């Protein structure tokens, strides 16, 4: 028998828990989007650093995806779309920014590999958010 301890159940049943978990999941995207809006030259430089041209187009798309996806997930409306936006963005960003398989052995490769798989964990988190929202609507 797999019984959830009562204190864990209380935390999971606490109404703000789900929202706070979604906020934690999207926090880096909210901060990143707001930061890029506040420092446009740095947003352009980041895109150029990764070889994305034209940098203004990619910076605009990045900001739009980070902020729109986050707001959709937090609002509980069109969660599948917000989670899909951030999941796909995160997957491709990891491929571009953390291509560890192209690096020689060493600390930089290890760091890039670690970051790549951390990003894959976020992708999984976005899929779970979409699944839970879908099941919650279906079961309601």
Per-residue pLDDT, 137: 77
Burial 30-56 (b: 16+ CB within 10 A, else e): bebbeebeeeeeebbebbeeeebeebe
Q: What does each C-alpha distance from 26 to 34, 72, 78, 102, 131 come to in angstroms?
A: 12, 10, 15, 29, 16
Tokens 């899909």 belong to which residue?
A: 84
pLDDT at 139: 72
Q: pLDDT (tens digit, 9 = 90+) per residue, 59-102? A: 999 999 999 999 999 999 999 999 999 999 999 999 999 999 99
Locate the domains of the chain by residue range. 19-139
For the stretch 23-48, pLDDT in tens is 999 999 999 999 999 999 999 999 99
pLDDT (mean) for 103-130: 97
């Amino acid at each position: 028998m797999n019984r959830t301890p009562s204190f864990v159940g209380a935390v999971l049943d606490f109404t703000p828990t789900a929202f706070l978990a979604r906020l934690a999941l999207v926090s880096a995207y909210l901060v990143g989007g707001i930061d890029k809006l506040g420092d446009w030259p740095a947003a352009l430089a980041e895109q150029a650093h990764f070889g994305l041209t034209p940098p203004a187009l990619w910076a605009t798309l990045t900001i739009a995806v980070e902020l729109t996806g986050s707001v959709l997930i937090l609002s509980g409306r069109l969660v599948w779309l917000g989670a899909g936006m951030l999941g796909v963005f995160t997957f491709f960003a990891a491929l571009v920014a953390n291509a560890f398989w192209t690096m020689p052995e060493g600390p930089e490769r290890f760091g890039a590999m670690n970051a790549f798989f951390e990003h894959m964990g976020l992708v999984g988190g976005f899929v779970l958010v979409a699944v839970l929202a879908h099941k919650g609507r279906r079961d309601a």
